[in-house]
Chains A and B, each alone.
Chain A
Amino acid sequence: AQSVSQHNHHVILSEAASLELGCNYSYGGTVNLFWYVQYPGQHLQLLLKYFSGDPLVKGIKGFEAEFIKSKFSFNLRKPSVQWSDTAEYFCAVNEDNAGNMLTFGGGTRLMVKP
C-alpha cells in the first residue's frame, strides 16, 4: 500500500519568511497529488493539485508546489508567509487507477508569528 510522508510535524516561522513543506510518497505508478489546508476552526480546503503537465503547480493564496517524479516528492512552497497562513497542511496522493481515494500524510502544523 502506498504511503505519504510529511517530514516536518511542526514549523514556526516569522511573517515574510519563506516556506517549504516536504511531502514524499511511496507509490511507483502514476499519481495525482494534492495539498489541503485546515485553518483553525475550519474544514479541509484544497490549496492546489497536480494531475499532469507542468510539474510546477500554482494554487490559491500564493502557494505553489513542485512535482519531482524522480524523488517521489511534491513539496509546498510560499515565498513570503503571512500570519493568516497559520494552519495545518496535508499532502495527499491518489493512485491514477484507484478512483479518487486519497491517502494523506500526517500533516504539518504551521505557526506564523506576527
Chain B
Amino acid sequence: DAGVTQSPTHLIKTRGQQVTLRCSPKSGHDTVSWYQQALGQGPQFIFQYYEEEERQRGNFPDRFSGHQFPNYSSELNVNALLLGDSALYLCASSLFSVRQDTQYFGPGTRLTVL
C-alpha cells in the first residue's frame, strides 16, 4: 500500500523564479492538502483540493496556486519566489467522505530560494 509520495525531494531556485511541486496521495485517498513548514516552526495550511477544485485556503498569497488531476495527484505552484518561501512543503492526503479523516503526510519537498 503506497503512502503519500512527493517529488522532488530537494529543489534550489532563485528569487523571482517559479516552482512546481508534485504529490501523489495514499492509495484510496481523494483529497490532497498542502502545508508549508518553515525552519523551526509547525506546518501551516496552504490549501486543499478535492474533485479537482480548491476547497479550503489558508492565509497565503495568490502566488501560491495548485491543481488536482483526475487521478487525485496534485501540484503546488509558487510564482515570483521570495527568500521567505524557503521551507519544507508537505503534502497530506485523506478521504473526503470520512468526516475528519486522518491526514497522512508525505516526506516533503525542501525548497531553498537563493
Contact = CB atoms under 8 A, between A and B. Distances in A.
A101 interface: yes
A44 B33 CA distance: 14
B41 A106 contact: yes
Give the size range of B's interface with the partner: 20 to 34
A10 to B, nearest CB: 11
B42 A101 contact: no
Contacts of A44: 43, 90, 105
A92 B4 CA distance: 20
Interface of B: 4, 31, 33, 35, 40-45, 48, 55-56, 58-59, 90, 94, 100-108
B100 A46 contact: no
A101 B33 contact: yes
Contact of B48 (A1, A42, A101): A101
A103 B108 CA distance: 18
A44 B4 CA distance: 11
Given A43-B106, A90-B42, A100-B101, 16 more contacts: A4-B42, A42-B107, A43-B4, A43-B107, A46-B103, A49-B102, A90-B43, A92-B42, A94-B100, A100-B94, A100-B100, A101-B48, A101-B58, A102-B103, A104-B42, A106-B41
A99 B55 contact: yes
Nearest to A106: B42
- Top 6 nearest A-B pairs by Cβ distance? A104-B42, A44-B105, A43-B107, A104-B43, A101-B45, A106-B42
A98 B107 contact: no
Interface in A8-33: 32
18 contacts: A4-B42, A6-B42, A32-B100, A43-B107, A44-B90, A44-B105, A45-B105, A46-B102, A94-B100, A100-B31, A100-B101, A101-B56, A101-B58, A102-B43, A103-B45, A105-B42, A107-B40, A107-B42
